[in-house]
Amino acid sequence: MNKNLFRRYMAQASDFDPFIIDVSHTEGVYVWDKSGKRYFDFISSICVNNVGHRHPAVMAALHEQMEKYLHVMVYGEFIQQPQIDYVARLCSFLPPTLQKAFLVNSGSEAIEGAIKLARLYNKRAEIISFRGSYHGSTMGAMSALGDTPIHDRFSPLLPQTVLYEYNDLGAIEKITDKTCCVIVEPIQAGTGMTVPTVEFLKAIRQRCSEVGALLIYDEIQTGFGRTGKLFAFEHSGAVPDILCIAKSMGGGMPIGAFVASEELMLLLESDHPLKGHASTFGGHPLSCVAALASLNVIVELLPCLAQKEARIRKWLSEIPQVRAVTGKGLFLAAHFSEDFDTNRLVERLMSSGFISFYPLFNHSAMCLTPPLVATDEEIDEAMLLFKNVVQSFI
């Protein structure tokens, strides 16, 4: 019945059926459906619930703020303490060139803001991104999407957007004094947690600086402890000019941001707010207090993430069908043979109470991105389930 209503009223994001869960409630690493069935959320609702579902610290912060105020004014017009408290804490973990944030509601919006900022900076048109990347579904972010057949459905998109091979040093010389910005994920999710070489990321950084193009990092999935460090750029030390964050930022609440230097962010200021960037709900106070609580939890979790990664990798090493494991931290993908039917595997895992999914552009891999709060016992229980389902899979 509910499924019929869901189909009747909700515009659908996809046409596949088996993934539907009629959600009853959630807690920690679990989602329950209305029949009482419990699922281990091993993809953290696509890298959102890094602190698990309804973390007590997030819930407490939300309750406290709810008693004070909700929305009061479009972003940037009134002083809202939750916004300042959050950004100040966030920036305390970021390098000196990333010290000012514009708060938005989503990852796509963060990418849009970053592209606009890059345009204001060098007034150039060309946007470089990489095959296999996903940066959001708005027209600008979509122009940088690394899959041309999808572009074709919506073209014309932003002009002068070009795609190169991810992790290919040959792409570096294509960044020229005509390039406005380069948008890159420091670990590419859509192809199955592809980790580029440090050399590749450093070469992009250096080339962007040489030619005056801005380097935009999409850390919308990789941010907030997901890869074992607070931000994935820390693995290579190549610092972007603009950092885009969202997803797990709000501990389950909607929020995103693009973060840059004071000098760059000044470009947004002018005699009319619409000449820069605007957002009604960007930095909603509820989202900001949740984000602060979530950030504090994640910072405490960082030291034990390597051990959790090792635990999952050990389980995967015991499954003969898993040919390779890519990624870092709890941002992992298990790769199978090309003809492995991951669609059916997702179904089987779901019916066994294990939520996972394949990467957007790679249907022979499965994402393993559990909440960072998952205990050893929870990881063991879930991975045993995963192992049994994969091994009994024909």
Ligand X SMILES: Cc1ncc(COP(=O)(O)O)c(C=O)c1O
Residue placing its CB nearer to ligand X in the complex, 46 or 74: 46
Is 179 one of the binding residues for ligand X (CB under 6 A)? no
Q: Distance (Å, rounded) from C-alpha 91 to C-alpha 216?
A: 17
Q: Distance (Å, rounded) from C-alpha 190 to C-alpha 359?
A: 5
Residues with Cβ within 8 Å of 94's Cβ and at least 6 positions away in sequence, in order, are: 231, 243, 259
Residue placing its CB nearer to ligand X in the complex, 180 or 245: 245
Q: Which tokens in the block code for residue 60?
A: 């407490």
Minimum CB–partner distance for residue 134 and ligand X (Å): 5
Residue placing its CB nearer to ligand X in the complex, 135 or 335: 135
Residue placing its CB nearer to ligand X in the complex, 104 or 213: 104
Residue placing its CB nearer to ligand X in the complex, 46 or 302: 46
* Choices 132-140, 201-209, 265-273, 369-377; region in contact with ligand X by CB under 6 A: 132-140
Minimum CB–partner distance for residue 223 and ligand X (Å): 10
Q: How far is CA 362 from the centre of its chain?
A: 17
Q: Is the dihedral of CA 303, 305, 308, 309 positive or negative?
A: negative
Is 83 one of the binding residues for ligand X (CB under 6 A)? no
Among 135, 205, 308, 328, binds ligand X (CB under 6 A): 135
Among 40, 102, 121, 134, binds ligand X (CB under 6 A): 134
Among 50, 65, 106, 236, binds ligand X (CB under 6 A): 106
Q: Distance (Å, rounded) from C-alpha 110 to C-alpha 115?
A: 9
Among 144, 189, 232, 292, binds ligand X (CB under 6 A): 189
Name the phi and psi angles at 387, rounded to 5: -60, -45
Is 107 one of the binding residues for ligand X (CB under 6 A)? yes
The per-residue b/e assignment along 93-125, b for 16 or more CB within 10 angstroms, e otherwise, is ebeebbbbbbbbbbbbbbbbbbbbbbbbbbebe
Minimum CB–partner distance for residue 50 and ligand X (Å): 13
Is 195 one of the binding residues for ligand X (CB under 6 A)? no
Number of residues that bind ligand X (CB under 6 A): 13
Is 227 one of the binding residues for ligand X (CB under 6 A)? no
| Nearest CA among 252, 112, 130, 116 for reference residue 183 | 130
Question: Distances in Å between the alpha carbon of 224 and those of 50, 162, 184, 287, 372?
Answer: 8, 29, 17, 15, 10
Task: Report which DSSP code applies to 271.
Answer: S
Site for ligand X in 205-224 (CB under 6 A): 218, 220-221
Residue placing its CB nearer to ligand X in the complex, 134 or 336: 134
Minimum CB–partner distance for residue 76 and ligand X (Å): 20
Residue placing its CB nearer to ligand X in the complex, 184 or 325: 184
Site for ligand X in 301-360 (CB under 6 A): none
Cβ atoms of 164 and 131 closer than 8 Å: yes
| Nearest CA among 2, 41, 59 for reference residue 350 | 41
Among 41, 112, 185, 378, binds ligand X (CB under 6 A): 185
Q: In sequence order, what are the beta bridge partners of 334?
A: 325, 366
- Interface with ligand X by CB under 6 A: which residues? 46, 106-108, 134-136, 185, 189, 218, 220-221, 246
